Amino acid sequence: QSALTQPPSASGSPGQSVTISCTGTSSDVDDYKFVSWYQQHPGKAPKVIIYELNKRPSGVPDRFSGSRSDNRPSLTVSGLQAEDEADYYCSSYTDSNRFIIFGGGTRLTVL
């Protein structure tokens, strides 16, 4: 089963920006157009913060943005705040077998 690779950890100080990348290992991920990002605080359910690579659901602060850099989807958190400390997961799918796939997750620490 194909997977998405994320760095296990990232960190930044309050007010700084942090970028988390997501790399597909399968060539049949559909050009990353449908990558979504989820935020999960400890003991809580995941929450979508970015969908279709760069769209934000209503209610998600514009400090969160999605993009593609070096042909890899990325999540950028600008103006870091203490409450941004959480686990972040990218997600997409494999077109060949129509599996939904998640990255391994990145733990974001606000120093």
- Pick the stretch among 12-20, 31-39, 64-72, 76-84 that binds other proteins (CB under 8 A): 31-39
Q: What is the rounded radius of gyration, in angstroms, for the C-alpha atoms of the chain?
A: 13
Strand, coil or helix: 71: coil
Q: Which of 73, 77, 103, 110 binds other proteins (CB under 8 A)?
A: 103
Distances, alpha carbon 47 to alpha carbons 10, 23, 85, in Å: 19, 21, 14
Q: Which of 66, 105, 108, 110 binds other proteins (CB under 8 A)?
A: 105
CB neighbours of residue 100 within 10 Å: 9
Sorted by sequence, the CB contacts under 8 Å of residue 82 that are 6+ apart come out as: 14, 110
Least distance between other proteins and beta carbon 14 (Å): 26
**Is residue 51 near other proteins by the rule CB under 8 A?**
yes
- Pick the stretch among 14-22, 68-76, 77-85, 94-102 that binds other proteins (CB under 8 A): 94-102
Q: What is the Cα–Cα distance from 111 to 108, expressed in whole angstroms?
A: 9
**Is residue 48 near other proteins by the rule CB under 8 A?**
yes
- Pick the stretch among 12-20, 37-45, 67-75, 76-84 that binds other proteins (CB under 8 A): 37-45
